[in-house]
Amino acid sequence: MSSNTDFILAIEDLTVSFDGFKAVDGLTLYINKGELRVIIGPNGAGKTTVLDLISGKTRATEGSIRFNNIELTKMKEHQIVRAGIGRKFQTPSIYGNLTVFENLELSYPYDRNVFGSLRFKRSQAVVEKIFEVAEEIFLEELLEKQAEFLSHGQKQWLEIGMLLVQDPELIMLDEPVAGMTAKERDATALLLKKIAKRRSVVIIEHDMGFVGKIADKVTVLHLGKIIKEGTMEAVQNDPTVKKVYLGH
């Protein structure tokens, strides 16, 4: 085991194999506090699997993931969330038959055990927090709307909002602008920059234009391995990256 670090997230020698196929292969990745990191890579590069591993959805075969120097690989999903990591899925996953307000309320990070949730009351603090987040994600006028009737982009925002209510130190987003209009993308870019001021963010994204707008640092993944890490410009001019994207 390596010693403690200042990184918020330190992934070392991470490997996972499914029936012999190594979806992630000896990955080492460090994320600084307050950093906004984008992971890119062609299809099947293992991007989503990395998020699955960090958030505990998939168990690692080897290696370590430490968050604020806490080992995550043995923890359950809900424990990882409670430690301070929020995760948004590739397809918006929200509660369609609840209102926007209720969606956000369900993510409020107190009273999350059985009997606590039975006692849970909407106090002023709860409502204030939800109002604050709703404003941030541009949904303050739609609090009473049933979530399944939101537009695709609004659903994406709502899910981001559900993470914000949790107040995590690290937010992980899987393709947050998929299916958004150009206007919505611009708004989202601003939103993410704002979010990143107070916490660390890891984003998986395909849209290079969008990546260029938001990223501090880009990591390129291919076949479960990192092939390049650096600024957007450096990555774009790298011959290996070009080769991977354009084929052999």
Closest CB 222 distance from other proteins, rounded Å: 18
CB atoms within 10 A of CB 181: 12
Rule CB under 8 A: say whether 5 interacts with other proteins.
no
- C-beta of 100 vs 180, nearer to other proteins: 100
Total of chain residues touching other proteins, rule CB under 8 A: 51
Please give the Cα distance from 152 to 98 (Å, whole number).
16
Question: Is residue 138 at the binding interface for other proteins, with CB under 8 A as the rule?
Answer: no
Does residue 77 touch other proteins according to CB under 8 A? yes
User: Is residue 23 a contact point for other proteins (CB under 8 A)?
Assistant: yes
Residues 22, 64, 90, 112: which binds other proteins (CB under 8 A)? Answer: 112
Identify which of residues 141 and 233 has a Cβ nearer to other proteins in the complex. 141
**CA-to-CA dists, residue 72 to 90, 105, 128, 136, 205, angstroms:** 22, 26, 32, 30, 24
If one asks whether residue 91 binds other proteins (CB under 8 A), the answer comes out as no
Among 101, 161, 218, 228, binds other proteins (CB under 8 A): 101
Nearer Cβ to other proteins, position 140 or 207? 140
Cβ closest to other proteins, residue 55 vs residue 154:
55
Kindly state the tokens that stand for 157: 């925002």
Residue 164 interacting with other proteins (CB under 8 A): no
Q: How far apart are CA 127 and CA 142, in angstroms?
A: 15
137 binds other proteins (CB under 8 A): no
Task: Please name the amino acid found at residue 11.
Answer: I
The least CB distance from residue 90 to other proteins, in Å, is: 11
Tell me how far, at minimum, the Cβ of 84 lies from other proteins, in Å: 10
Q: How far apart are CA 221 and CA 244, in angstroms?
A: 10
CA distances from 143 to 51, 150, 158, 227, 229 (A): 30, 11, 10, 44, 40
How do strand 36-40 and strand 21-31 relate by DSSP bridges? unpaired
Q: How far is the CB of 147 from other proteins (least distance, A)?
A: 11
Q: CA 30 to CA 11: how far, in whole Å?
A: 6
Q: Return all residues near 182 (Cβ < 8 A) that are at least 6 apart.
A: none
Considering the complex, state which of residue 6 and residue 148 has its C-beta at the smaller distance from other proteins: 148
Name residues whose C-beta falls within 8 Å of residue 23's C-beta, 6 or more positions apart in sequence: 16, 17, 46, 49, 224
List residues binding other proteins (CB under 8 A): 18-19, 23, 49, 55, 57-58, 76-78, 81-82, 86-87, 89, 93-98, 101-102, 105-107, 109, 111-114, 117-124, 126-128, 130-131, 140-141, 143-144, 146, 162, 166
